[in-house]
Structure 1
Amino acid sequence: MGELATLPVFFDLSGKPVIMAGGSDGAAWKAELLAAAGAHVRLHAPLGELTAEMRAVLGVRFNSGTITHVDRHWAAGDFIGAALAVADCETDEEAARFHAAARQAGIPVNVIDKPAFCQFRFGTIVNRSPVVVGISTDGAAPILGQSIRRRIETLLPPSLTGWARLAARLRADVMERLLPGPQRRSFWERFSDNAFTGKSPDEGDEAAALRLVSQLANAPESGGRVTLVGAGPGEAELLTLKAVRALQAADVILFDDLVSDDILELARREARRMLVGKRASRDSCRQEDINRMMIQFARAGKHVVRLKSGDVSIFGRAGEEIEELRAEGIPVRIVPGITAASALAAGFGVSLTHRDCAQQVRFVTGHSRKGGLPQDLDWPALADDKATTIFYMGGRMSGQIAERLIAEGLPAATPVAVAANLSRADETRAVGRLDELGDIVARVGVDRPLLIGVGRVFSACEANVGHGYAPTAMSRLPARVA
């Protein structure tokens, strides 16, 4: 655990008295917050010092909390029995007196906007009660805290409130019938998958949850499942929210060697991580072994995440894995990712289907099962000047790809684009002509994961040098590829 600037604590204020001082707008917001948490707030301030906002708050009815106005300044005796003390003070001298009185009474104290007189801070809140998220910047940057809150607000659907309440109703059954550890975690993870669908729970969802409890209680291994997750082109910020949730719910992660460390850092800390990547000209894990491991772990009741670079459904051999898992009766689902072709287009700042240049886009494997140039492709169709073609895994075949396309009638001057290590800090991009493709790839490096784009949409790439993912480099031959 790294150093914490402050300790986040969730304090139960239901039915507890809180002393407040000040009739300002800032005090009104804090009084409303405390009463919403069930506190009985005693607000000390002369009537003439109450702002319009404070007067409005005093008229609000809360489910369990209350705000009672006391028409005078606070006194030392008012602190007796209070759970918290909060004040909005104009001067440091007034703040010091309030702070000292609260400390003397042994009560945690907060003076609004005066960190020197605060034992605790409110922070910024995302309310999906009973789910409550608190955000603190330790007073250093409140506006940053608000920006973080806005981002979290978009991640947590309002329907989460209903699912959290359903979880509270189910908790006793789960605690009674499921063993601590994998059984309970399997239930809550599958329950949580539904909680993020944006749909509010109904009686059917509650019945389904109870059935799952019974199923796991009678057959613990039934919690085993596999999720095929697309990790995108490399940059962690391009991972989908659903992919992050899957990583944080995994017991075992079988990942390709093109998956970045930043993405693996988002996974559940206790998850077992196993490299099963396959790369040309390197020792590789056989597909049969990967299938066997997925089945073995899932049968043991584990949630297995098969983490693949790009999108799992594009040249990721997901079809073989899905067939094997279904044949074994193991539940499997897919979480799509951003495919490398989309990252290529973003990096070069082009549209793959610009209506003036291309009426279609094709994703093509750049090598056969035996490692040579694919012979079962419709090469005459690929030589269409009105299409954009993206070759995956075609680095070692780049020269032959260019020769074959030219032989089928595609002009030698057709623009090409090559990118290696897409979306990563060491991404390299280069552009040129089709008849230069082999030289371009040789300079970029055939041992790096790269993508080849062929088509007129790349003709304007020179105007986009420096755009896309940074830091990157791009050049047009014969300039040196950086």
Structure 2
Amino acid sequence: MRDIRKPVERRPVRLEPLSVLPVFCTLEGKPVLVAGGTEAAAWKAELLAASGAMVSVFAEDVSEEMQDLLRDGAASGEIMRIGRDWSAADLDGMAFAICDAGSDEEAARFHAAARAAGVIVNVIDKPDYCQVQFGSIVNRSPVVVGISTSGAAPILGQAVRRRIETVLPRALTAWAALAERVRDEVMARCTPGAGRRAFWERFVDFAFTGAEPDRMSGNASGFISRLIGADKEARQGKVTLVGAGPGAADLMTVKAVRVLQSADVILFDDLVSDEVLELARREAKRMLVGKRGGRDSCRQEDINALMVKLAGQGKHVVRLKSGDPMVFGRAGEEIAELEDAGIPVTVVPGVTAGVAMASAFATSLTHRDRAQSVRFVTGHSRDGGLPETLDWKGLADPATTTLFYMGGRMGGRISSRLLDAGLPGETPVAVARDISRSGERFWFGTLSALGDGIDEIGFDRPVLIGVGAVFADAAARAAVVRESGGERGPVRISA
């Protein structure tokens, strides 16, 4: 008999070490000096002017890019040229100073003069002479995202910027401006704490639809009234069942991440990875309510009662489950308990482990020439053995792909029952352990050798067993992926 585990709160690390401190500088109407007329200096001058600065460019000669900028002007601020080199006196009263120095000697001289004048200084591409550094920027003003690699890998910073650009809609600029306009009215009309946060969470949901606010909000006061019902909803509390996917954080849905960012309490399973939890709202309480076969586990009844209790206190409770909540996740019992208690409950799907395994092998589970159906089957019963109610004759259908979840300990018995039901011993089999995680391992072989394969790959971690003709080419594909550098864990192919 296993011991019963009690829910355990896990406190997140609030802040990891920072290589640099990200700050944002207001330059509206302030004087800024740029020394140099190069292409690089032109880009920095345009960036500063876009922030509203009054930019003075000191240069005897200017590049074509600088000439174009001086002729056309910037999106904001002003840019003017002074046709000579800079002097120390020119730095007096400046808020910011940038130089594209031709030598280390000039860089050192400019840096010393700026520091003496009390001016923030940056020398382009010479970090030893910089108080501040420029990173990549995602501009959705008034939302501005700055990205720094501390000078170590600018190209990496640009790649990060491109990825952020894809998830931040252009309309975010208009929504942020609307938020600024309605902020005072929201503060006056919504109750402090949960009520206000619920309003802004709904507001953000609208902002990320990609639609312009003037098409949805209309009159600002009317828009606030439409969302004010979030106050009542916040007091009532709710539960969201969220699929965390098989392990890798980048396999979560965007909606799942947004829900994690709005949670008050997160009840998570043993198999939820730390990198997934890192995506959650920092202030959210995290409670481990792990359930693992053959190990100390929290009772399902205790988990159900805890969800009802926390939601009854007006909290947004996220029940975070590995894979998909609706696939061997006990979601049906939890939903029934919450509905009986009158607690609103919604579900956010996740990538289930079987689909993640198929993707890792580049294998279609329903390949038209090899399988006409796919089955997800539990590999153990409530008492920890092999379920006796399974239709083994049906599972032995050669035109079916079968995925056994949580079946590592039962691998040998699964093989025996399928063989007894008539499935040929040479039927291809694939086994994955810790799919999508850093310890990911694969084994490929035949049904008759499945027991030996499980012994080799181990079952101390989550194991998924795939049986069917579709896995005939999986070993070869996995080897190709490994040779291309994309495979994370060792692949073992049975002789």
* TM-score in terms of structure 2 length: 0.86
In 1, distance between residues paired with 2:214 and 2:338? 31
Which deviates the most, 164-173 or 365-374? 365-374
Counterpart secondary structure, 2:319: strand
What amino acid is aligned across from residue 476 of structure 1 in structure 2? S
RMSD: 2.8
Q: Is the 8 A contact 1:229 1:243 kept in 2?
A: yes
Matches within 5 A, 1:289-300: 289-300=302-313
> 1:363 maps to which residue?
376
Counterpart secondary structure, 2:426: coil
How far off is 1:2 after superposition?
4.6
How far off is 1:212 after superposition?
6.3
The CA deviation string for residues 399-456 of structure 1, in whole angstroms up to 9 with x for no partner, is 4433443344322321222222222333333233223334433444455321111101
In 2, distance between residues paired with 1:33 and 1:406? 70
Return closer, same or farther for 1:202/1:325 CA change in 2, 3 Å cut-off: farther
Q: Indicate which of 270, 280, 283 corresponds to 2:283.
A: 270
Whether 1:102 aligns to 2:114 is yes
> 2:490 maps to which residue?
472
What amino acid is aligned across from residue 319 of structure 1 in structure 2? G
In 1, distance between residues paired with 2:116 and 2:185? 46
In 2, distance between residues paired with 1:239 and 1:144? 23
Counterpart secondary structure, 2:247: coil
Q: Indicate which of 128, 136, 140 corresponds to 1:116.
A: 128
Which deviates the most, 37-46 or 357-366? 357-366
Q: Is the 8 A contact 1:423 1:469 kept in 2?
A: no
What amino acid is aligned across from residue 204 of structure 2 in structure 1? S
> 2:399 maps to which residue?
386
Q: Indicate which of 155, 174, 184 corresponds to 1:172.
A: 184
How far off is 1:133 after superposition?
0.9
In 2, distance between residues paired with 1:346 and 1:423? 10
Q: Is the 8 A contact 1:174 1:213 kept in 2?
A: no
How far off is 1:34 after superposition?
0.9
How far off is 1:346 after superposition?
3.7
In 1, distance between residues paired with 2:106 and 2:288? 61
What amino acid is aligned across from residue 132 of structure 1 in structure 2? V
> 2:203 maps to which residue?
191
What amino acid is aligned across from residue 347 of structure 2 in structure 1? I
How far off is 1:164 after superposition?
1.5
Return closer, same or farther for 1:204/1:288 CA change in 2, 3 Å cut-off: farther
Q: Is the 8 A contact 1:191 1:209 kept in 2?
A: no
Which deviates the most, 324-333 or 291-300? 324-333
Return closer, same or farther for 1:286/1:4 CA change in 2, 3 Å cut-off: closer
Matches within 5 A, 1:363-442: 363-369=376-382, 373-374=386-387, 376-442=389-455
How far off is 1:177 after superposition?
3.7
> 2:64 maps to which residue?
52
> 1:480 maps to which residue?
none
The CA deviation string for residues 104-147 of structure 1, in whole angstroms up to 9 with x for no partner, is 32211222222232222222111111111111222232222222
Matches within 5 A, 1:142-291: 142-178=154-190, 180-202=192-214, 204-205=216-217, 210-211=224-225, 214-217=228-231, 220-222=234-236, 224-291=237-304
> 2:8 maps to which residue?
none
Q: Is the 8 A contact 2:199 2:231 kept in 1?
A: no
> 2:79 maps to which residue?
67
Counterpart secondary structure, 1:274: strand
What amino acid is aligned across from residue 335 of structure 1 in structure 2? V
Counterpart secondary structure, 2:81: strand
In 1, distance between residues paired with 2:199 and 2:408? 45
* TM-score in terms of structure 1 length: 0.88
Q: Is the 8 A contact 1:15 1:64 kept in 2?
A: no
How far off is 1:469 after superposition?
4.2
The CA deviation string for residues 169-193 of structure 1, in whole angstroms up to 9 with x for no partner, is 2221233344554443333333323
> 2:51 maps to which residue?
37
Q: Which has the higher contact order (CA 8 A, sep 6+)?
A: 2
Counterpart secondary structure, 1:59: helix
Q: Is the 8 A contact 1:232 1:338 kept in 2?
A: yes
Q: Is the 8 A contact 2:202 2:227 kept in 1?
A: no
In 1, distance between residues paired with 2:211 and 2:405? 38
How far off is 1:397 after superposition?
4.2
Q: Is the 8 A contact 2:122 2:132 kept in 1?
A: yes
**Any unmatched runs of 5+ in structure 2?**
1-14
Whether 1:17 aligns to 2:20 is no
What amino acid is aligned across from residue 19 of structure 1 in structure 2? L
What amino acid is aligned across from residue 67 of structure 1 in structure 2? I
What amino acid is aligned across from residue 237 of structure 1 in structure 2? D
Counterpart secondary structure, 1:202: helix
In 2, distance between residues paired with 1:170 and 1:330? 31
What amino acid is aligned across from residue 187 of structure 1 in structure 2? F
Q: Is the 8 A contact 1:187 1:212 kept in 2?
A: no
In 1, distance between residues paired with 2:490 and 2:82? 64
Q: Is the 8 A contact 1:373 1:397 kept in 2?
A: yes
> 2:315 maps to which residue?
302
Return closer, same or farther for 1:324/1:164 CA change in 2, 3 Å cut-off: farther
Return closer, same or farther for 1:81/1:213 CA change in 2, 3 Å cut-off: farther
How far off is 1:306 after superposition?
0.9
In 1, distance between residues paired with 2:463 and 2:182? 49
What amino acid is aligned across from residue 317 of structure 2 in structure 1? V
**Any unmatched runs of 5+ in structure 1?**
478-482
Counterpart secondary structure, 2:394: helix
What amino acid is aligned across from residue 54 of structure 2 in structure 1? H
